[in-house]
Amino acid sequence: MIRTEGLGKSFGAARVLDGIDHAQQRGEVVVLIGPSGCGKSTFLRCLNQLETHDTGRITIGDVTLEAGARPDREKQRRLRLFSGMVFQQFHLFPHRTALENVMEGPRFVLGQTAAEAGATARALLAKVGLADRADHRPSQLSGGQQQRVAIARALAMKPQVMLFDEPTSALDPELRDEVLRVLRRLADEGMTMLVATHEMRFAEEIADHVLFMEGGRIAESGPPGRIFRDPSQERTREFLRKILPKA
C-alpha cells in the first residue's frame, strides 16, 4: 500500500530524511516514534507531498513519484488523494462550520453536490461523536473536538491511507482520549494508518509495527512488543527511558 525507497530530503545543509525504506500493507497500522526533530513529521509530509523529496521514490496505491527537479503537480495531487492528513495543529478552516469543513473536499475536489457531500459529512461527524456540533465554527469547539472534525474532514475524501502527524500533541491530557478513541476505532475498521506520536502506551496498544526514527533514519523497527520491552539498539532504549513514565 505504501512503499518508500531511499527517501531523502534536505532543508539547506540539514539532511532531515536520509534514505527511508519503508513498506506497509493494506490495513496495517504503523506508529512512528522518535525524539523531536528526528524527521517523523517530514516523512509524513513527504508522503503527501507537502514537502517534495529530493531523492528516492514514493509509491502509494498505484501512483509512484520519483524525486525530480520539477514536481509533477498532477501526480502530486493524485498521490494526495490516496492519503488523508491530520495535523498536530488541526488547521480547520476558521471561516466555515464543522459541517462545511468536512464538506469542503468532497464538494470542491470531488465535485459532489451539496446534498451528497452534506449527507456524508453528517455521517462522519456522527462517527467522531460530533453530530450535535455540525453548525459550530472551529472557534466554538474545544481542541479535542476540532481534531475530531479534522479527522472527519480527511475521511470525507475516502482515503486509502491516513497519516497522523502527532494528532494529540497540541491537546491537554484530558482531551487526548477522545481523539485516541477515534483512532482506535479506525484501526479496528481496518484503515491503513501511519501515526507519528509521543503516546507510547497508545502506540504499543494500536501498532502492528513500530518505527523508531533518529537523525533522519529508521534506527530500529519491529513489532511493538519487542521495541518497547526489548529494543536491540541502545539509542532506542535511551529514548524510551526518557519518555516512559517510571513504572
Partner 1 sequence: MLHLVGAVFLTTAAHAVTWAEIRQRGVLRWGNDAEGGAPYIYHDPQRPETLTGFEVDLAGALTAKLGVGSAFVQQNWDMLIPALGDGTSFDIIIAGLERSPENLAKIAMSRPYLAFGQQLVVRADQPLVTSLDPLKGRPVGVLSGTVSYRILEARGDLDVRVYQDNVNYFRDLETGRLDAVLTDTPIAQVNLAGNAKLRRAGPPFAPGSYAIGVRREDSALLPEIDRAIEALLADGTLERIYSKYGLWTAEQGALRGWKAPEEGPAKAGASTLRGWRTYLPILLGAAVTTVWVTCAGMAIAVVWGLALALLRADGPAVVRWGATVYVEVFRGTPLLLQIYFIYFGLAQQLGIKLGAGVAAVVALGLNYAANEAENYRAGIEAVPKGQSEAAMALGMTRWTALRRVVLPQALRISLPSVTNDFIAMSKDSSIVSVIGLVELTKQYQIRAIDTSDYIGLGVMTGGIYLAMSHTASVALRRLERSLR
Footprint of partner 1 (CB under 8 A): 48, 50, 73, 77, 80-81, 84-85, 87, 89, 91-95, 104-105, 108-109, 150, 153-154, 157
Cβ proximity to partner 1: between 168 and 236 the closer is 168
CB of 205 to partner 1, least distance (A): 27
Smallest distance from the beta carbon of 242 to partner 1, in angstroms? Answer: 29
Q: Which is nearer to partner 1, 103 or 227 (CB)?
A: 103
Q: Distance between the two ends of the chain, CA-based, in angstroms? A: 37
Q: How far is the CB of 236 from partner 1 (least distance, A)?
A: 30
Nearest to 85 by CA among 47, 35, 112, 141: 47
Q: In what order do the strands lie in the sheet with 63-66?
A: 14-24, 2-11, 55-60, 63-66
Show the CA angle centred on residue 37, arms to residues 33 and 42, nearest 5°.
Answer: 80
Joined together, the cell numbers standing for residue 55 give: 531523492
- Residue closer to partner 1 by CB (options 130, 210) is 130
* Cβ proximity of 175 and 167 under 8 Å: no
Which residue spans within 96-168 are E strands per DSSP? 161-165
CB of 225 to partner 1, least distance (A): 33
Cβ closest to partner 1, residue 143 vs residue 224: 143
